[in-house]
Chains A and B, each alone.
Chain A
């Protein structure tokens, strides 16, 4: 049983990964004649590249704020549906809808909503003489716009996982707390939330790694702009590889992203183990 799985992992995960590592060590360029150099020159160049450093800052802003809002909103709705107003559980299907919308469609929906001349939101507020600011033309506004679109599309994932985790918490714990005189809020903070911690940590990790792969939202909503305000590292790798034909440099950026995600995963897994042991 192990052999087919090992072959599948080897062919579909390990081999492409090794290929990417090897390519990042070359000076392969689609257009320019290359000098058959093999070494760490791409990584040294990255270290001194202001655009690359900027892309990491953008990526971290998008990922950190994206995960915070997605986890907060997803958890809030899950707790609401499970603990506060269980009658509304049938609403789960409606809350899940954004999750099944393809990323390109999500980007187009939010682009329309945030483009003042196309947006029904702007038209509505215009009636009252209120001008809605154009988010996509300011540095942090554009980042906020992508975080909003990503939160809308991804909170259902968090909600579903947290709902599953909530259903795994025995209800007699709540009842015992209630008999001991704890309020609902105290029960949530002292009992439910600590028991949810492993699930919250894992869902945050999943979402964090997923947000490192931002592409359609950036490409369609801002094309990396204004200026380079939303050029996250993943998008910068695309620019280097496909627009600048600098494939080996793009591969070096991809290697950086892989290592970054691997390190984060390692530390989160360790934290998770500690929580479970406690």
Chain B
């Protein structure tokens, strides 16, 4: 026991050398909330006075960059400092955090909520691990396509591509030196290229594992997987803008907003930004469409984020009160309207007249297409296992190496399988 504590303290000490300083313990009527930067979290921080007025508690909402957040969270959780009451909980990290006993379950609290049924079932269920619920969702993002109607019309194309095979044809017709046909994330990382690439892989019948979740034998190196990687590589290398091999979501979105590409596929919240005339030079010439399908169907990307309570939070009841407020219809509606936040997680928000009006002005089909994509998405789009962040990073690096020509597609998929097996065997 003593040995375990010494090692844990050493771990915290080493992590502390690289991470920011954690704020010290706080008063009982004060809540410390740590979130990472995105439109919802930035807007929520501006509403903290509303919660203080409602609850009589002081709340400090700190919004920091995602990388700093990861380090800070590891330090806080490992050191068991009890300095945080509510934390940003991306579902993709949830399995890992639960396995490490870093979060407190909130099943009973959620069951007691009067408005539980208003929360979209998919995002709420994605917080269930080992039969317990570990958080309340505030964001459900999905994959979507944005395309330039003027370029399509000029090329005599009347409909956006419905399949990846059609996408290859369309890309060939519209690609020019001035305006590349298509851009997607290629930068390596479980949240970067591994957010978009499985859309193609799954459409062609490729999988990460032989039979998830019962048989976790790696299975990326299959004819289906190879075909999918071939399509991704061809689209990016032959029809993507120059430098696409290092593009992340910021470069992809900016390329569409600045008129440098004709089609992008990315997360719904970012697609909404390309339709916003205040942010996009070509907003009036951009329309949206579903993620293309393949021989095995359609598999839009999905990303769910929520709020959770650290295992060592000193006042869980107050923490949950904040979570309930922050994901309430009232707050999500305010943020949807004020910040153009499209990824809300309550049905009532989608029906709210003010919200409907705000999004209709951007694109009449935006909200309905988002619902369609969320319905088509599978919960384990990226496998829900504790090792995923490590696997996603390793696979993402190999896929990126293939797209950039550092290894062949076959080599990349074989290396991915080998590394997945190695990670799972550790």
Contact = CB atoms under 8 A, between A and B. Distances in A.
Indicate, yes or no, whether A interacts with B: yes
Interface of A: 16, 19-20, 22-23, 26, 28, 30-32, 34, 36, 114-118, 122, 131, 134, 136-139, 142, 219, 222-229, 238-239, 241-245, 247-248, 250-251, 254
B314 interface: no
Given A115-B246, A219-B67, A247-B15, A28 B7 contact: yes
B297 interface: no
Contacts of B71: 242
B96 A245 contact: yes
Interface in B171-205: 187-189, 192
Given A134-B242, A242-B74, A244-B390, A31 B401 contact: no
B155 to A, nearest CB: 21
Contacts of A139: 404, 406
Interface in B245-270: 245-248, 251, 254-255, 258, 260
B241 interface: yes
Contacts of B386: 31
Nearest to B65: A104
B14 A251 contact: yes
Contacts of A247: 11, 14-15
A32 B251 CA distance: 36
B3 interface: yes
A244 B248 CA distance: 21
25 contacts: A16-B13, A23-B11, A28-B10, A114-B243, A115-B251, A117-B242, A117-B243, A134-B246, A136-B245, A138-B405, A139-B406, A142-B246, A222-B246, A223-B192, A225-B400, A226-B401, A227-B397, A227-B398, A227-B401, A228-B401, A242-B71, A243-B70, A243-B389, A243-B393, A247-B11
Nearest to A18: B10
A227 B10 contact: no
Interface string B415-426: 000000000001
A271 to B, nearest CB: 31
Q: How large is the interface on B (under 10, 10 to 19, 20 to 34, 35 or more residues)?
A: 35 or more
Given A31-B386, A242-B71, A243-B393, A225 B246 contact: yes
Contacts of B99: 31-32
Contacts of A117: 241-243, 251, 254-255, 258, 260
Contacts of A243: 70, 389-390, 393
Nearest to B8: A28
Contact of A116 (B4, B241, B389): B241
Contact of A238 (B18, B192, B242, B260): B18
A118 B389 CA distance: 30
A275 to B, nearest CB: 35
Contacts of B397: 224-225, 227-228
A142 to B, nearest CB: 8
A48 B61 CA distance: 45
Nearest to A28: B7
Contact of A115 (B243, B393, B401, B426): B243
A251 B14 CA distance: 8
Contacts of B348: none
B210 to A, nearest CB: 23
A47 to B, nearest CB: 16
Contacts of B246: 115, 134, 136-137, 142, 222, 225-226
B407 interface: yes
Interface in B1-26: 3-4, 7-8, 10-11, 13-15, 17-18
Given A229-B406, A241-B18, A244-B390, A36 B3 contact: yes
Task: Point out which of B17, B389, B404 has the most chain A C-beta atoms below 10 A from its C-beta.
Answer: B404
A118 B254 contact: yes
A118 B189 CA distance: 22
Contacts of A34: 7
Given A117-B255, A224-B397, A227-B397, A19 B10 contact: yes
Contact of A241 (B15, B247, B258, B403): B15
B311 to A, nearest CB: 13
A19 B67 contact: no
B342 to A, nearest CB: 24
Given A19-B14, A136-B243, A137-B245, 15 more contacts: A23-B10, A26-B10, A28-B8, A30-B77, A31-B96, A116-B241, A117-B241, A117-B251, A117-B255, A142-B246, A223-B188, A223-B192, A226-B188, A226-B246, A242-B70
B12 to A, nearest CB: 9
Interface in B382-397: 386, 389-390, 393, 397
The residue in A28, A131, A226, A238 that gathers the most chain B C-beta atoms within 10 A of its C-beta is A226
A124 B60 CA distance: 47
Contacts of A26: 7, 10
B100 interface: yes
Contacts of B188: 223-227
Contacts of B251: 115, 117-118
B292 to A, nearest CB: 23
Contacts of A32: 99, 426
A152 B216 CA distance: 47
A77 to B, nearest CB: 31
A225 B77 CA distance: 30
Which of A122, A138, A139, A227: most chain B Cβ within 10 A? A227
